[in-house]
Amino acid sequence: MRTVEWDNERDRVLLIDQRLLPGEVMVRSYDSYQDVALAITDMVVRGAPAIGATAAFGLALAALRSSAQTVQALREELKRAADALMSSRPTAVNLKWALNRMLRIAEECNGDVDVDLLREAILAEAQQIADEDVEINQRMARYGVKFIEDGDTLIHHCNTGALAAVDWGTALGVIRMAHKMGKRFHVLVDETRPRLQGARLTAWELSQYGISYDVISDNSAGYFLQTGIVQKVFFGADRVAANGDVANKIGTYMLSIAAVDNLVPVYCVVPTSTIDLKLTGGDQIPIEERPQEEVLELKFYDRKTTPPGATARNPAFDITPHRLITAFITENGVVYPPFERNLANAVKDLRE
Ligand code: MRU
């Protein structure tokens, strides 16, 4: 199944519970937008495109479960539901992008229309967002595949695969396409502390696709770059500012510095829905700080790694300045510097 799906028979949202992977593949079902918002916050589902599509289906649930009798009343309820979904995670702009697209359907609907027709249109839009996501991912993969050559060793950070999107994936989608085309290469998988999206999710996906990989501790990336073992670095993003500054999983900044210091190119693979032209620079992107337990409750030899009373800081993302990015791979093509002009053009291509 897809990472995020609509259950047509029972009108509910289905999510693969990513917290349990790779040990257990469990699908959970959601009947209310409030529960969908909680699932996003708790990271049952994660990854920028996946949470965008999940929020869209969450809003469809709000429309279907609402008892509103008029278009105006339904619009008001949808706005309240969208606010709740919007605040479920702050950094990935895809969430806002998907919800705004859904709300536009309600806003543009004629007030005299049968309210059930609006409900149907809302659900159809969510399904459209999900279907488009898969198609966009595959388009990005076709643009990005030329950057992977036979014999390459790549470093990949976090999880950007089918699990981070509706299906297929962004940066991992490029890697998957290269493998499908018969290219031979090796992936070093950053384990991605503290939630281990690399070790748990990316390694799981790569083993399913039959792609050669080793998991590495995040702090060994510099070693592999400095010793000439790595030819390219690939990751995705949760939000890209107009100047090309990238908010992505914590550790992306350190990885990019080490790559650039060793003249290794850095590719950021993003759908244009991740580009936020309203923000001029990365310093304006909200960075989520997650509960300290995520850092403190890791275990070693089945025992907690930290002494009683230890405290922790847990920023979930960092900002990689645009000067460290070699190119963005989007569904509208590869974007090189100057990013301010070229990213705006890539986004415009889509909107026209
Ligand atoms: O905290 P997460 O797991 O939601 O963070 C995900 C990432 O940082 C991904 O790299 C990003 O969303 C791009 S995925 C297509």
Q: Give yes or no for residue 48 CB within 6 A of ligand 1.
A: yes
pLDDT digits (tens, 9 = 90+) for 69-105: 999 999 999 999 999 999 999 999 999 999 999 999 9
Span 169-192, mean pLDDT?
Answer: 98
Query: How far is it, in rounded angstroms, from Cα 34 to Cα 85?
Result: 8
**Minimum CA distance residue for ligand 1 atom 10:** 236
Cα gap 235→256, rounded to integer Å: 10
Lowest mean pLDDT across 127-136, 255-264, 285-294, 343-352? 343-352
Q: 1.20.120.420, 3.40.50.970, 3.40.50.10240, 3.40.50.10070: which CATH number matches 4-138? A: 1.20.120.420
Find out whether the beta carbon of 93 lies less than 6 Å from any atom of ligand 1: no
Q: 248 CA to middle of ligand 1, Å?
A: 7
pLDDT tens digit string along 204-232? 999 999 999 999 999 999 999 999 999 99
Give me the percent of the chain exceeding a pLDDT of 90: 97
Q: Are strands 266-269 and 275-276 parallel, antiparallel or unpaired?
A: unpaired
How high is the pLDDT of residue 350?
A: 53
What's the CA dihedral at 77, 80, 81, 83 to 10 degrees?
160
What's the gap in Å between 352 CA and the centre of ligand 1?
Answer: 28
0.95 exceeded by pTM: yes
Taking 50 as the threshold, does the pLDDT of residue 108 lie above it?
yes
In which band, very low, low, confident or very high, does the pLDDT at 349 lie, cut at 50, 70 and 90? low
Sequence spans of domains, the chain: 4-138, 143-347
From 3.40.50.720, 3.40.50.300, 3.40.50.10470, 2.60.40.10, which CATH number describes the 143-347 domain?
3.40.50.10470
Q: Is the CB of 167 under 6 A from ligand 1?
A: no
Q: Is the CB of 282 under 6 A from ligand 1?
A: no
Asked if 157 and 202 touch (Cβ cutoff 8 Å), the reply is no
